[in-house]
């Protein structure tokens, strides 16, 4: 018998069971992982080779059932129902086997070629939960593999099982006799017209369950033709035997859960007493919780600021001392003078600034944030803040997407797919840019260090961290305020229902997470600085040195922008930097510095040097505060705006996402001027 040399496999399972971790381990790709439900919101595909086979594996968003409640669950359902596949690997959580097996039973009815992978085995052992894998396997009729991220060999077992094309003989769950009878009739009727890979029995169940959306989709795809199926008759027959439509809608789920529960009673043993949730109780404590989280935030910021100083100083000295030698080399290559200046004073200067001042804090903050995420703190933050979001008639999951915004606003916007209600999703999307993303932190830290701190460099970091913590709390308050405003005036409505899952805390592999994250971030920022900062530097240098008429274009632009800038306590350069920095927030300050120093050789580039450059160009405390405020509240970057449009498909809402932060920023600048 020939084994096919190419296979297509789908990964499916409840949220937060480790699908993406397994996906990453098998394909070598880097899907976003972390200990909270809702990270994967779209499918991703990768490949791996094993035993002379090429396997294409697709990761799907977590779903609690094949009847989707929010958009990302719909992606999973559609992928499983309509995607071409050879095998489905269903990933379950060993610490919550009943739910995983319930979902397995549902997916089994759709995809009979399926294997079960019970993940987080190490967590289950810690909690004293033991699964009898052979018994599970024989009861379910499919291979069951125990896996855990701590045990690399277990992932190898998945590859082996996939490659071996396992014979699967999944049990067919039987429902009460009257229902089985109607299912048989319906299946026969559907069989006549069903040429798709969706099993007819699955379609019959969906018809009786009244999953209207899925049925509509099947009709559109030509898989089902309701006109040729006597569905009403089936409902009538079942009604007569005590199964109302109401009851039918939930009996299938109930039976699956009942079976799953009975199976787990036979095959799962719990040797430790029930969990006491001490850590959770501490983090959600009435009196201490706010303090604990504020303290954690402060600690993360302090470590970022303190640790970033050293690589930053080193890089600054190294890179900027290279500017003159670089100029010399390029000149000796007989390149025209303007080209040399363009490359050194334009491109090199901006990129060097991004790498030395912007990169270190970004490369440190992001990994720390990832650690907190992997540990499982985000759902607790969402849990604690839910009441405030409820008061704003927003969804508590907005706290999760808001936290994502601290990493990257575009990711935060996409993450809003985990919110079920369209109205609440819009609120979360529009307000996401009100929290500063990773790219804005270095500028905020630099400005605080230069203008709002006391004492010498060492003691600065504590004070700056404190101020930064306060600033972040301010942005959270503004998010809540704007959400409230949107709920009241633009997007009126009531809070929708949702359940937030609070997964167990997991100790991440700290070393591995840090190293991987630092490398990933560094590569990402470097890539973006080449793609975005370099061209921006080029453009500005041209503006500053190319003249149409008497003055360089830049002077003309500056003269136009300066008066506008002064109204808001800024100047033309700052405004231009914000405008040109639309593609990426981390290039705004570098562009400013570049413009201020055009024409001169950059020698002094330490923090002190930057301070000198800024004050020499008219900066005062007031200017710094205005720039700081504008940094927090200004238009989202272009990637975020594009993502907002893609997610909302609405020009108006994208415009709101642009307008609201910009207005808040500019109003704040006016207010600062009035106060100071």
Partner 1 sequence: MTLDTCAPNETYTIQSIGGSPSQRYHLHHLGFLEGTKVRCVFTAPCGDPIAFEVQGSVFALRKEQLRNITVCKEDL
The stretch near partner 1 (CB under 8 A) out of 151-159, 277-285, 325-333, 427-435 is: 277-285
C-beta of 497 vs 652, nearer to partner 1: 497
Closest approach of Cβ 261 to partner 1, in Å?
Answer: 7
Query: Is residue 99 a contact residue for partner 1 (CB under 8 A)?
Result: yes
Rounded Cα–Cα distance for residues 232 and 329 (Å): 84
289 binds partner 1 per the rule CB under 8 A: yes
- Check residue 541 for interaction with partner 1 (CB under 8 A): no
Q: Are 40 and 61 in contact (CB under 8 A)?
A: yes
For 270, list phi and psi in degrees, rounded to 5. Answer: -110, 115
Q: What's the closest the beta carbon of residue 9 comes to partner 1, in angstroms?
A: 24
**Residue 109 near partner 1 by CB under 8 A:** no
CB 599 to partner 1: min, Å? 57
Asked if 273 interacts with partner 1 (CB under 8 A), we say no
Q: Compute the half-sphere exposure of residue 530: CA atoms within 13 Å on the CB side of its CA.
A: 5
Please tell me what DSSP assigns to residue 173.
P
Kindly tell me which residue out of 47, 69, 526, 562 binds partner 1, with binding defined by CB under 8 A.
69
Distance in angstroms (rounded) separating the CA atoms of residues 659 and 653: 10
Site string for partner 1, 221-260 (x = CB under 8 A): ----------------------------xx--xx--x---
Distance of CA 586 to the CA centre of its chain: 19
503 touches partner 1 (CB under 8 A): yes
Angle, CA 664 vertex, CA 662 and CA 670 arms, to 5°? 105
Q: State yes or no: residue 445 binds partner 1 (CB under 8 A).
A: no
Q: Confirm or reject binding of residue 123 to partner 1 (CB under 8 A).
A: no
Q: What angle do CA 419, 421, 422 make, to 5 degrees?
A: 100
Read off the tokens for 439.
């790219």
- Measured from the CB atom, the residue of 306 and 383 that comes closer to partner 1 is 383
Nearer to partner 1 among residue 384 and residue 398 (C-beta) = 384
Q: What sign does the CA torsion over 434, 435, 440, 444 have?
A: positive
Dihedral Cα 668, 540, 315, 464, nearest 10 deg: -10
Alpha helices in 42-173 (DSSP H): 71-82, 97-110, 121-126, 133-140, 152-163
By the rule CB under 8 A, 165 interacts with partner 1: no
The verdict on 64 binding partner 1 (CB under 8 A) reads yes
Angstrom distance (rounded) from CA 164 to CA 416: 39
Using rule CB under 8 A, residue 645 touches partner 1: no
Tokens 């912007």 — which residue?
358
Which of residues 274 and 458 has its CB atom nearest to partner 1 in the complex?
A: 274
| DSSP codes of every residue in 411-473 | HHHHHGGG--SHHHHHHHHHHGGGSPPTTTHHHHHHHHHHHS--SSHHHHHHHHHHHHHHHHH
Q: Which is nearer to partner 1, 285 or 317 (CB)?
A: 285
401 binds partner 1 (CB under 8 A): no
Cβ nearer to partner 1, comparing 242 with 549: 242
Interface with partner 1 includes 356 (CB under 8 A)? no
When asked if residue 277 is in the footprint of partner 1 (CB under 8 A), the reply is yes
Nearest to 78 by CA among 114, 102, 42, 108: 42
Q: Does residue 19 belong to the site contacting partner 1 (CB under 8 A)?
A: no
Figure out which of the listed residues 33, 67, 517, 597 binds partner 1, where binding follows CB under 8 A. 67
CB of 63 to partner 1, least distance (A): 9
Residue of 179, 232, 148 lying closest to 509 (CA atoms): 148
Structure tokens at 118: 């019970």
Q: Does 125 bind partner 1 (CB under 8 A)?
A: no
Binding residue (CB under 8 A) for partner 1 from 55, 96, 413, 486 = 96
* Distance, CA of 343 to CA of 46 (rounded, Å): 39
CA distances from 192 to 29, 200, 211, 563 (A): 43, 10, 21, 76
Give yes or no for a contact between 351 and 537, defined as CB atoms under 8 angstroms apart: yes
Q: Which of 184, 295, 477, 499 binds partner 1 (CB under 8 A)?
A: 499
Minimum Å gap between C-beta 272 and partner 1 is 13
User: Should residue 396 be labelled a site residue for partner 1 when binding is judged by CB under 8 A?
Assistant: yes
Residue 280 in the binding site for partner 1 (CB under 8 A):
yes
Q: What is the four-CA torsion angle of 14, 15, 17, 20, rounded to 10 degrees?
A: 120
As measured in angstroms, the least distance from the Cβ of 253 to partner 1 is 5
Of the candidate spans 297-305, 385-393, 509-517, 528-536, the one that interacts with partner 1 by CB under 8 A turns out to be: 385-393
The residues binding partner 1 (CB under 8 A) are: 64-65, 67, 69, 93, 95-99, 102, 129, 249-250, 253-254, 257, 261, 274-275, 277, 280-281, 284-287, 289-290, 383-384, 386-387, 390, 396, 495, 497, 499-503
């Amino acid at each position: 018998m020939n084994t096919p040399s190419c296979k297509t496999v789908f990964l499916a399972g409840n949220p937060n069971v480790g699908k993406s971790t397994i996906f990453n381990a098998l394909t070598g790709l880097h899907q976003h992982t972390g200990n909270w439900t809702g990270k994967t919101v779209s499918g991703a595909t990768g490949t791996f080779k094993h035993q002379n086979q090429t396997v294409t594996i697709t990761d799907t968003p977590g779903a609690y059932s094949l009847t989707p409640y929010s958009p990302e669950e719909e992606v999973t359902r559609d992928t499983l129902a309509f995607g071409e596949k050879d095998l489905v690997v269903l990933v379950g959580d060993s610490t919550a086997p009943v739910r995983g097996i319930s979902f397995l039973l549902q997916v089994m009815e759709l995809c009979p070629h399926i294997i079960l992978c019970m993940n987080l085995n190490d967590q289950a052992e810690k909690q004293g939960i033991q699964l009898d894998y052979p018994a599970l396997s024989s009861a379910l009729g499919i291979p069951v593999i125990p896996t855990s991220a701590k045990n690399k060999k277990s992932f190898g077992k998945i590859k082996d099982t996939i490659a071996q094309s396992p014979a699967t003989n999944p049990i067919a769950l039987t429902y009460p006799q009257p229902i089985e009878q109607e299912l048989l009739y319906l299946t026969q009727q559907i069989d006549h017209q069903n040429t798709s890979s969706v099993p007819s029995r699955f379609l019959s169940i969906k018809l009786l369950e009244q999953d209207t959306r899925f049925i509509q989709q099947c009709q559109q795809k030509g898989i089902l033709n309701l006109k040729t199926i006597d569905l009403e008759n089936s409902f009538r027959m079942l009604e007569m035997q005590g199964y109302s439509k109401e009851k039918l809608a939930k009996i299938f789920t109930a039976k699956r859960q009942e079976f799953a529960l009975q199976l787990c009673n036979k095959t799962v043993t719990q040797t430790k007493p029930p969990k006491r949730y001490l850590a959770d109780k501490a983090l959600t404590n009435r009196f201490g919780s706010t303090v604990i989280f504020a303290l954690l935030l402060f600690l993360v910021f302090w470590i970022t600021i303190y640790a970033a100083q050293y690589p930053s100083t080193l890089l600054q000295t190294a890179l900027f001392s290279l500017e003159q030698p670089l100029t010399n080399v390029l000149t000796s290559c007989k390149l025209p003078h303007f080209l040399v200046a363009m490359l050194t004073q334009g491109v090199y200067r901006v990129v060097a600034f991004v790498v030395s001042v912007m990169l270190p804090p970004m490369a440190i903050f992001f990994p720390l944030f990832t650690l907190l995420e992997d540990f499982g703190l985000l759902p607790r933050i969402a849990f604690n803040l839910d009441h405030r979001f409820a008061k704003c008639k927003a969804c508590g999951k907005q706290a999760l997407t808001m936290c994502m915004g601290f990493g990257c606003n575009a990711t935060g916007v996409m993450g809003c797919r985990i919110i079920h209600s369209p109205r609440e999703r819009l609120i979360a999307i529009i307000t996401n840019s009100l929290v500063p993303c990773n790219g804005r932190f270095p500028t905020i830290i630099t400005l605080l260090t230069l203008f709002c701190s006391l004492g010498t460099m060492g003691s600065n970091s504590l004070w700056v961290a404190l101020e930064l913590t306060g600033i972040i709390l301010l942005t959270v308050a503004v998010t809540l305020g704007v959400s409230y405003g949107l709920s009241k005036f633009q997007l009126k409505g009531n809070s929708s229902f949702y359940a937030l899952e609070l997964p167990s805390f997991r100790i991440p592999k700290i070393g591995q997470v840090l190293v991987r994250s630092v490398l990933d971030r560094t590569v990402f920022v470097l890539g973006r600085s080449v793609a975005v900062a370099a061209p921006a530097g080029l453009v500005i240098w041209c503006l500053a040195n190319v003249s149409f008429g008497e003055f360089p274009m830049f002077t003309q632009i500056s003269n136009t922008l300066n008066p506008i800038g002064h109204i808001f306590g800024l100047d033309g350069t700052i405004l231009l930097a914000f405008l040109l920095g639309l593609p990426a927030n981390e290039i705004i300050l570098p562009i400013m510095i570049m413009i201020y120093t055009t024409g001169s050789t950059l020698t002094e580039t330490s923090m002190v040097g930057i301070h000198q450059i800024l004050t020499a160009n008219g900066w005062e405390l007031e200017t710094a505060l205005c720039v700081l405020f504008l940094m927090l509240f200004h238009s989202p970057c272009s990637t975020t705006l594009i993502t907002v449009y893609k997610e909302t498909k609405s020009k108006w809402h994208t415009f709101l996402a642009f307008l609201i932060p910009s207005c808040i920023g500019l109003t704040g600048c006016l207010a600062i001027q009035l106060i100071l």
